[in-house]
Amino acid sequence: MIALSVADAFAPLAAVSDALAWVVVAAFVLASALTWAGRRTVARYVASGTWGLFGVFWLSVFPTFWFEMRSLIEGTLSLVAVPACIYTGYLLYDGRESLLTLSHAVGAMGLIYLPAETIPLFRRFLVETVAGQTYAVITALGYSPELVPVDKDVAVQGYLSMFVFEDGAGHTYTTHIVTACTGIGSMAIFGGLIAAVRAPVRRKAKALGLAVAIIWVLNVARNVFIAVAFGNQWFQQDALVYVATEFAGYQDPNLTSFFIADRVISQSLSVVALVGITWLVVRELPELLDVIEEALFVLTGTEYDLAEALGQPVRADGGE
C-alpha cells in the first residue's frame, strides 16, 4: 500500500519524463554550442541550470525502476543521481568550468540514446536485430523456443522479439527484448564521453569501436542467459523464491528465475563489465581520465590524479 501511494505520487512527474529528457539534452547541446562559440561563462550558467533539471529527470524515472521494474540497482542509482546532479550544477555555477566537458558528454549521450528510445523506426530495427542475434545463439546452444511478435508491451508491441519456452507440463515462460536490452544505454555512455574529449579522431574512433563491440557481444550473452534461465526455471529454489516474493514484491513465484537472472546477476555483472570496458577504453583514449576525475570529484569531493595512479599519462600533445 505504501509503495503504491509513493508510485502514485510520482505519476505526474513520470508522465513527462520523455519530454523532460529531450529538454535536458537540448539544453546541454546549447551549452556545448556556447562553449565552442567562446561564451564559456554563459555556457557555464546554462549547463548549471540544466544539471538541476537533469536531477528532476532522474527523480521522474525513479518510480519506474524501483516499483515497476523492481530493479534495486537502477532504482538506487537513479535516486543517488538526483543530489549528484544538483551538486554538479552548484559546482558549475560556483565556477568549476572543468565540469563543462562532463556536461558536453551528457548532451552527446542523449543525442545517441533518445532516438533509439523514442523514434519507432529506429527502435524497432535495433530491438529486432538484437532479438534475432539472441535467438540465433539460444538455438545454437541447443534450446528451441519460439521467436514470436510481442503481444503485451505497448512500447514494442508487434516487434519480432519475444522468446517462448514451454516445459514438459505445457507451461510457457516468455521474455522479450525491449530498448533497454539492446545495450544502447551503455553504448551511449561511452559514445558521449568519447565525443566530449579532445583527442585525434583516429584514436577516438578506435576507442568507440572497441567499446561498442564489447558491449554488443556481452549484451547478447546477457539476453541469452536471462531468456534461457527463465525459460528453464533455473533459480526456483525455495530460498530464492522467498526473496523474490517477500522482499522484491513479485506476486508470481514463477518469476523468481527472471528476477535472479536479470535484476540480480545480470545487472550486478553489468556494473563490473562497465568498469572493465572503461579500463580498456582509457588505455586507448587516456584523455577520458579527466572526465572520470570530474565525476569522481562530484561523488566524493576529493581531487584525483588517475593518470598518475594508473601510470597512464594523458597524451595532451595530441599524439596518435
Active-site residue list:
181, 222
Three-state secondary structure call for residue 125: helix
What is the rounded distance in angstroms from the CA atom of residue 217 to the CA atom of residue 147?
20
**Listed residue (181, 190, 275) closest to 226, CA to CA:** 181
Nine-digit cell at 64?
519506474
Residue 276, by phi and psi: left (phi above 0), alpha (psi -120 to 50) or beta?
alpha
Taking each helix axis as running N to C, give the angle between helix 40-63 and helix 99-118, from 0 to 180 degrees, rounded to the nearest 10.
Answer: 50
CB 69 within 8 A of CB 276: no
DSSP 11-52: HHHHTTHHHHHHHHHHHHHHHHHHHHTT-HHHHHHHHHHHHH
The amino acid occupying position 130 is: V
Closest CA to 156 of 175, 136, 171, 183: 175
| Residues pairing with 175 in the sheet | 163
> What are 39's three cell numbers?
561564451
Residue 227 sits at the vertex; the CA angle it makes with 221 and 230, to the nearest 5 degrees, is 130
Long-range Cβ contacts of 306-315 (<8 Å, 24+ apart): 310/282, 312/282, 312/283, 312/286, 313/286, 314/286, 314/287, 314/289, 314/290, 315/199, 315/286, 315/287
